[in-house]
Structure 1
Amino acid sequence: MLIAIRATEILFAWSLLIQTLEYLRMGKATRNEGLWSWSLQRADIPNAPARAVLDVLFKPRVHQFHLLLRLLGAVVLALQGASLPLIGFLFLGNLLILIRWRGAFNGGSDFMTLVVLTGLLISQVLGALGLVPLGWFAGFWYIAIQSITSYFMSGSVKVLRPEWRNGSAMSIFLNGAIYGPLPATHVLRNKWLAMLGSWAFMVWEILFPLSLIDPHLAVVFCSVAALFHFLVFWFFGLNRFFWAWLCSFPAIIWCSAQFSGQIHGFTHLLMAL
């Protein structure tokens, strides 16, 4: 368990570090005269007392100070590991950032960041009550179930769409990538190759729950996921997705080892009977 804990803490710290540096670079855009001014976004908050508190917290200098503290928190997490005060601060701060960006700045990566933070918070709250092993058990399973379910749902939704079944969706998305439309000679211009690639990813996503059967199988599924997210980063520039989702892999592999052990134990028990 210790290896899974440290892997999760270090990967998540790195992911959080990248996100926070990106927010800091956007300082000019979030000022009152910027494109994402809080003076405009505050209209989304109907409750006057809550809006007044957020007005203070989202002042440019206060917001920048919070991001610097978040940066420091990520470094502490990587070096010293999780603690209830640290994870509590990062969790509440993340909620504030989500409010600042009307619920999400970067879609799925924000979702997975919140999932991992919630899992870490579960582990620390139960740990503070003297239930350290149970805390990490519950936290890891929360992260693993959320991550595996998201892959499964993503594949299931794609299968229902004809553009994914015939492969045209892959070409459409790649034509809008940061490098511009696919060259006329690109292999994915071939209808059958595009359909094969589309179905390969859909089947992989739908079968992701099978990763819990065996830890070696979990490593395979997570490796394909890492390749998938790297390709998304390469073609669309979504670097956050790559690191945010990698944070869930130690939990998936650890839970797979635990679940497969229970299955084997139950099988041996049945055989003994």
Structure 2
Amino acid sequence: MLMAIRATELLLALSLLIQTLEYLRMGKYTADDGFWSWHLQRADIPNAPMRALLDVLFKPKVHQLHLVLRLLATLMLLVQGASLPLMVFLFAGNLLILVRWRGAFNGGSDFFTLVVLTGLLISQVMDALGHVQLGWQAGFWYIAIQAVTSYFMSGAVKLLRPEWRNGAALTIFLNGAIYGPLSASHPLRNKWLAMMGSWGFIGWEILFPLSLLDPRLAAVFCAVAALFHFLVFWFFGLNRFFWAWLCSFPASIWCSAQFSAHLI
């Protein structure tokens, strides 16, 4: 368990570090005269007292201070590991950032960052109540179930869509990628190869729950997931997805080991 704990802390710290540095670089775009000014977004908050509080928290200088503190907290997580005050700060700060970006800045990666933060927060709350082992078990199972469910649902949705079943969606997405459109001679222009690739993704995602049956099987599924998310980063520039989902792998493998042990 100790190895899985430390791996999760390190991967989450790296993911948060990258995200925070990106937010800091965008300071001029979130300023009062920037493209993503809070003055434009505050109209989404209907409650007047809450809007007044957020007006203070999202002042450019206050927001930048929060990001600097978040960066320091992330470095603490990297060096010394999780603690209750640290996880409360990172969890609450992440919720604030999600509000600042109307729920999500980078879609699924923001969602899964919150999932892993929640898992670690659960572990630290239980630790404070004197249940260290149970806390990490609950935190890891929360992360693993969210990961398994997310992959399964993603595959199920693709299975229901005819453009994924016939491979057309894969070609369409890659045409809109950083290096798109695909050349006329690209192998994925062949509908049969595109369909095989599409069904490969669908099958891997739908079968992901089987990863809980054996830690070696979990390691294989996670390795394929790492390759998948790296390809998403390579072709679409979504680097956050790679790191955010990597954070779930130690929990998934550990939970698989625990689950398979109870089956024997």
Question: Please, what TM-score do these two structures have when normalized by structure 2?
Answer: 1.00
Q: Give me the whole-angstrom Cα distance separating, in 2, the residues matched to 1:260 and 1:101.
A: 40
CA distance in 2, matches of 1:171, 1:30: 35
1:68: how far off? 0.5
- 1:251 and 1:85 map into 2 onto residues whose CA distance is 22
Q: Match for residue 262 of structure 2?
A: 262
Q: Give 1:153 deviation, angstroms.
A: 0.1
The count of residues paired between Structure 1 and Structure 2 equals 264
Q: Which amino acid aligns with 1:227?
A: L
> 1:124: Cα distance to partner?
0.3
- Secondary structure at the aligned position of 1:183 is classed as coil
> Could you tell me which residue of structure 2 aligns to residue 126 of structure 1?
126
Aligned pairs for 1:89-104 (under 5 A) are 89-104=89-104
- Whether 1:72 and 2:72 are equivalent positions in the alignment is yes
Deviation at 1:180, TM superposition (A): 2.3
Per-residue deviation, residues 142-187 of structure 1 (Å, max 9, x unmatched): 0000011000000000000000000000000000001120011111
In the other structure, the counterpart of 1:157 is: 157
Looking at structure 2, the residues matched to 178 and 74 of structure 1 have their Cα atoms a distance apart, in angstroms, of 30
Partner Cα distance (2:244, 2:183) in 1? 31
Rounded to whole Å, the distance in 2 between the matches of 1:248 and 1:46 is 35
CA distance in structure 2 between the partners assigned to 1:253 and 1:180 by the alignment? 35
Q: How do residues 88-237 of structure 1 correspond to structure 2 at under 5 angstroms?
A: 88-237=88-237
- C-alpha distance after superposition, 1:208-250 (max 9, x if no partner): 0000000000000000000000000000000000000000000
Identity over the aligned pairs, expressed in percent? 80
Separation of aligned partners in 2, 1:26 and 1:198: 35
Write the mapping of 1:2-21 to structure 2, written as runs, cut at 5 A.
2-21=2-21
2:180, 2:230 → 1: CA distance?
18
Task: Look up the equivalent residue of 1:73 and give its one-letter code.
Answer: A
Once residues 180 and 28 of structure 1 are traced to their aligned partners in structure 2, the CA distance between those partners, rounded to angstroms, is 30
Q: Secondary structure at the match of 2:106?
A: coil
* Whole-Å separation in 1 of the counterparts to 2:139 and 2:228: 25
CA distance, structure 1, for counterparts of residue 180 and residue 200 of structure 2: 24
CA-to-aligned-CA distance 1:77-111 (integer Å, 9 cap, x gap):
01000000000000000000000000000000000
**Could you list the runs of 5+ residues in structure 1 that have no partner in the other structure?**
265-273
Which amino acid in the other structure matches residue 21 of structure 2?
A: L
Deviation at 1:45, TM superposition (A): 0.6
How many Å separate the matches in 1 of 2:180 and 2:188? Answer: 14
Structure 2 counterpart SS, 1:179: coil
After the TM superposition, which segments of 4 or more aligned residues of structure 1 sit over 6 Å from their partners?
A: none
Alignment RMSD? 0.4
What is the rounded CA distance, in whole Å, between the counterparts of 2:156 and 2:180 in structure 1? 28
Provide the rounded CA distance (Å) in 1 between the counterparts of 2:161 and 2:23. Answer: 35
Alignment match, 1:50: 50
Q: Which amino acid in 1 is paired with 2:134? A: L
- Which residue does 1:270 correspond to in 2? none
TM-score by length of 1: 0.96
2: distance between equivalents of 1:199 and 1:66? Answer: 44
- Structure 2 gaps, min length 5: none
Distance 1:29 1:102 in 2: 16
